[in-house]
């Protein structure tokens, strides 16, 4: 369980998050919806230790993680598939995936079956399997996005943060990404999902939060949010 209470964070003197609270119970998919610039990525960065929160509390399985560095937080089982294509371009697909398992290989996370998980990741993402020996930098944008997701899962994490996994993907790949998210959910993977496709995100999620200008303005079970007129007007109409 990831619990965020009254989180404030920003960049230098600019405050972006004005005290937000989010709960991600084990085994559930929670989605964070909001317009461009609302503070979704900033929330992810504050959770993963990439930026230091200025107030509030973040706990993972009961342990305080706010103020810790990113590697310590990853070792506790929090994996992050960041916005954009953040893969190691001069390494192969397989090596990128093994790097996701690094804390397991060095003994700072339970080792489990790394090779078995690598095989499962390849099965889950057949496009990556076909390209396992290719340098990650030569993958297409969509393939790199999938690699970032698969690498996060290779931590065998307590929770995965997915920041716009469908960004820049062709419609057919967007569908594939949502299928993969559903499959991970059915395997019991806990996820915090940020998505531009709010309708699809609410379809896969158990519960959702709406973030506007750094504040949570609505939250509730995904089925309820889908029928909330304000949410429909702002996020589910027209092009969404």
Tell me if 37 contacts ligand ATP by CB under 6 A. Answer: yes
Measure Cα distances from 151 to 10, 91, 99, 197 in Å: 27, 13, 7, 22
Q: Of 237, 171, 236, which is closest to residue 202 (Cα–Cα)? A: 236
Tell me if 11 contacts ligand ATP by CB under 6 A. Answer: yes
- Nearest distance, CB of residue 37 and ligand ATP, angstroms: 4
Tell me if 7 contacts ligand ATP by CB under 6 A. Answer: no
Exactly one of 39, 100, 142, 157 binds ligand ATP (CB under 6 A); which one? 39
Q: Which does 48 bind (CB under 5 to 8 A by kind): ligand ATP, Mg ion, none?
A: none
Structural contact between residues 153 and 79, judged by C-beta atoms closer than 8 angstroms: yes
Q: Which two tokens stand for residue 192?
A: 């915090």
Q: Strand 207-212 and strand 215-221: pairing?
A: antiparallel
Sheet holding 14-24, edge to edge: 14-24, 2-11, 55-60, 63-64
Q: What are the residues binding Mg ion (CB under 5 A)?
A: 40-41, 83
- Nearest distance, CB of residue 37 and Mg ion, angstroms: 8
Choose between 84 and 135: whose C-beta lies nearer to ligand ATP.
84
Signed CA dihedral, 149, 27, 201, 177: sign only: positive
Choose between 37 and 221: whose C-beta lies nearer to ligand ATP.
37
Tell me if 71 contacts ligand ATP by CB under 6 A. Answer: no
- Residue written as token pair 């506790």: 76
Q: Contacts with ligand ATP: how many residues (CB under 6 A)?
A: 12
Give the interface segment with ligand ATP, choosing from 10-18, 128-136, 179-187, 226-234 (CB under 6 A).
10-18
- Nearest distance, CB of residue 138 and ligand ATP, angstroms: 26
Q: Of 182, 205, 203, which is closest to residue 193 (Cα–Cα)? A: 205
155 vs 105: CA distance, rounded Å: 10
Tell me if 36 contacts ligand ATP by CB under 6 A. Answer: yes
Contact residues for ligand ATP (CB under 6 A)? 11, 14, 16, 34, 36-42, 83
């Amino acid at each position: 369980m990831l619990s965020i209470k009254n989180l404030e964070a920003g960049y230098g003197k600019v405050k972006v998050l004005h005290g937000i609270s989010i709960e991600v119970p084990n085994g559930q998919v929670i989605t964070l919806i909001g317009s461009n610039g609302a503070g979704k990525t900033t929330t992810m960065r504050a959770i993963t230790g990439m930026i230091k929160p200025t107030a509030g509390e973040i706990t993972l399985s009961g342990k305080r993680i706010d103020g810790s560095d990113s590697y310590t937080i990853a070792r506790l089982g929090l994996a992050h598939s960041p916005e954009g294509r953040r893969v190691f371009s001069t390494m192969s697909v397989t090596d990128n995936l093994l790097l996701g398992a690094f804390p397991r290989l060095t003994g700072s996370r339970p080792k489990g079956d790394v090779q078995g998980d690598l095989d499962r990741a390849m099965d889950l993402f057949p496009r990556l399997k076909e390209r396992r020996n290719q340098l990650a930098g030569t993958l297409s944008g969509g393939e790199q996005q999938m690699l970032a997701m698969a690498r996060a899962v290779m931590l065998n994490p307590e929770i995965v943060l997915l920041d716009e996994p469908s960004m820049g993907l062709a419609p057919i790949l967007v569908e594939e990404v949502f299928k993969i998210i559903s499959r991970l959910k059915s395997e019991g993977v806990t996820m915090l999902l940020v998505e531009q496709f709010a309708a699809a995100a609410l379809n896969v999620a158990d519960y959702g939060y709406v973030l506007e200008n750094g504040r949570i303005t609505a939250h509730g079970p995904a089925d309820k949010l889908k029928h909330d007129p304000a949410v429909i007007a702002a996020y589910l109409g027209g092009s969404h």
